[in-house]
Amino acid sequence: MKLLKYSHLNVLLISVIVFLFSCQKREQNKMEVTNEITAVINKIERVEPPNWFVGFKDTSLQLLVKENNIGDAIPSISYEGVTIEKVHKARSNNYLFIDLKIASSTEAGKFNIDFTFADGTKKTHTYELKSRDKKSDDFIGFNSSDAIYLITPDRFANGDDSNNINTALKETDIDRSDNYKRHGGDIQGIINHIDYISDLGFTTVWPTPVLLNDMAESSYHGYAITDYYKVDSRFGNLSEYKELADKLREKDMKLIMDQVANHCGIGHWWMEDLPFGDWLNNQKNYEDNIDNWNNETNIGSNHRRTTNQDIYVSKADLKGNNEGWFTPAMPDLNQRNPFLAKYIIQNSIWWIETLGLGGIRQDTYPYPDKNFMSDWAGAIMSEYPNFSIVGEEWSYNPLIVGYWQRGANNRDGYESNLKSPMDFPMQKAIVEGINEDESWDKGLIKLYEGLANDFHYASPKDVFIFLDNHDKTRVFTELWEDISKVKMGLSYMLTLPRIPQIYYGTEILMNDSANPGDHGLIRSDFPGGFKDDAVNSFTGEGLNEYQKDMQSFITKVLNYRKDSKAIHDGKTIHFAPFMGTYFLFRTKGDETVVNIINKNVEPITIDLKRFIEVGLDGRTLKNIITGDTFIWGNEIHLTEKGSVLLTTKI
């Protein structure tokens, strides 16, 4: 019995010793993988993304590593929660792609990635995982309660003269007399005038791209990106970009980032050493003709965007749209390459986190591989369920535009995951309908029937509406420089179940009438944004009475719209045009907004009994612009051509 008792004690003692040794061993292992960094070491030319974040739903990360002969090296990492899953070599031996897994328990911190070569030499890169500023669900995108101010930064305001020229870049000219040269506007110029934008009533700012465009000419517009992780120094730096986002948030405003997944600029750093043979579409043609590269040798896009939906499409036509280059200066990216696809998705997520974005605008949406675009938008919306993306589909056919919206009942089963397509069809309908003389099938009926097409959209209030932008003739020019027409168009757009966008300068009647459609003229300098401007639109100095009146009009409509639940999310009722007038009603709860568009030059009286179903009889309404009140009775007298905006909120 005593022997048995001692045996039990021995077993117990051994168990305790084993347990203590195991704990000690685990602690040693933990210390081995912590790898505390005392000095940052960067001997690698490029590692992208330049940093990442902990706490994502998707625990995967793929690093692009660029360094001379890095394909001969074996990478290793010792950091708790981070493991190398797979290493991929590329066609070029100067690249490695490393698949990492970042466990959900991984803590923020820095760690070294060691690259060991066959001869025993080693190169090291210090990488950082950062904490996130907020949870995924707290990234709130733009919606129908917002009004978006679109800016071409180079032409808006020059807030910092010191960054105008960078002699290390290909284009160093600043020439405000040339509409296709750089003019010097920058991020600081936008920051300096946030109050102006906010006071107008806008809630969101969309600048065209500010990433590096190291191109020989026309680099001002930003759509030929040559580094997807670097702000163009002529616009400022990353700190200023972050400051812009922060300053907007302080005003309860949002920042939209303009991104380009379809193409890069031919000056992109990877064009000198492409990682794979299929990194670009038609890459072999480019490489075969690189010494004689021009419009003739380039295989350009056929721009037949309907090939994405056409059930009878030929493979040649589909390929011509998706794989042809936008221009010879804009290499077409092949998103079917899985490494490039991952690169683009991670780049978008990196910018969302880095800037705390309130949305993304994706350029040339129907040109890339459409299955990739579904994956791209899906990855973002999966991580950020309350986020917003708008895609540019330049089609005047609502069937095509609606195809790209999330939740569309597409017969081919395609799901885009895209919240907001751009409403080019309604833009065209508004301009044509306001310009045309009234008849059975022309004039205001274009607006009515354009809105009636909303049955096709999965979510009409998430469609992105505009009257002009950086690529289209300015609305003041399109509406024949008739201010009453501009007010009709703007008032209608701003009371629709839509997300509205206005281009900078519309509020002061900027135009391109001297040469309609000329991009350089469309993107003219904003008066007052540059030194020695004779007119200052920010202060009103030098503006004529019509410009000041338009500023006032937009300010009153937008500031009313900010708090109008009826416009944001109300029921919509409209009546077919009658006697040169068109009535639109938006109602929610006790609030009804009435938009009356009147094309009659002479005074006219309209019988209001036609609108009895709206239920406004005997109610007092206020004119949003003038402040005058009106009792809704049997008739209304309209004394001049234009728009009348009424509300039951007194």
Predicted local distance difference test score (pLDDT) of residue 39: 86
Q: Is the pLDDT of residue 28 over 90?
A: no
Please check whether residue 395 is in contact with residue 428, taking contact to mean a CB–CB distance below 8 angstroms. no
Predicted local distance difference test score (pLDDT) of residue 2: 35
What mean pLDDT comes out for the span 570-590? Answer: 98
399-454, pLDDT tens digit by residue? 999 999 999 999 999 999 999 999 999 999 999 999 999 999 999 999 999 999 99
Predicted local distance difference test score (pLDDT) of residue 123: 97
**Which residues are CB-neighbours of 119 under 8 A, at least 6 positions away?**
none
Looking at the DSSP assignment, which residues form a beta bridge with residue 597? 582, 643
Predicted local distance difference test score (pLDDT) of residue 35: 55
- Is 363 an annotated catalytic residue? yes
Which token pair is 311?
A: 């059930």
Q: Is the pLDDT of residue 25 over 70?
A: no
Looking at the DSSP assignment, which residues form a beta bridge with residue 70? none
Q: Is the pLDDT of residue 30 over 60?
A: no
* Nearest alpha-carbon partner for 475 in 537, 522, 515: 522
Instruction: Match 């009234």 to its residue by tokens.
Output: 438
Q: Is the pLDDT of residue 85 over 90?
A: yes
Percent of the chain with pLDDT over 70: 94
C-alpha to C-alpha distance for 609 and 595, rounded to whole angstroms: 16
C-alpha to C-alpha distance for 594 and 583, rounded to whole angstroms: 7
Range from 7-11, 39-43, 420-424, 486-490 carrying the lowest mean pLDDT: 7-11
C-alpha to C-alpha distance for 649 and 119, rounded to whole angstroms: 79
Quick one: pLDDT band at residue 9, thresholds 50, 70, 90? very low
What mean pLDDT comes out for the span 27-40? Answer: 56
Q: Is 607 exposed, middle or buried (0-12, 13-18, 19+ CB in 10 A)?
A: exposed
Phi, psi values for residue 253, rounded to 5°: -115, 165
Sheet holding 82-89, edge to edge: 46-48, 60-66, 95-102, 82-89
**DSSP run (H or E) holding 47:** strand 46-48
Residue 199 carries which DSSP code? H
Percent of the chain with pLDDT over 90: 94
349-396, pLDDT tens digit by residue? 999 999 999 999 999 999 999 999 999 999 999 999 999 999 999 999
Q: Is the pLDDT of residue 27 over 70?
A: no
Quick one: pLDDT band at residue 36, thresholds 50, 70, 90? low
Quick one: pLDDT band at residue 34, thresholds 50, 70, 90? low
**Which residues are CB-neighbours of 18 under 8 A, at least 6 positions away?**
none
Residue 455 carries which DSSP code? G
Quick one: pLDDT band at residue 37, thresholds 50, 70, 90? confident
What mean pLDDT comes out for the span 312-326? Answer: 98
List the catalytic residue out of 392, 462, 468, 512.
392
List the catalytic residue out of 146, 214, 363, 423.
363
108-153, pLDDT tens digit by residue? 999 999 999 999 999 999 999 999 999 999 999 999 999 999 999 9
- Is 507 an annotated catalytic residue? no
Predicted local distance difference test score (pLDDT) of residue 15: 44
Pairing type for strands 499-503 and 148-151 reads: parallel
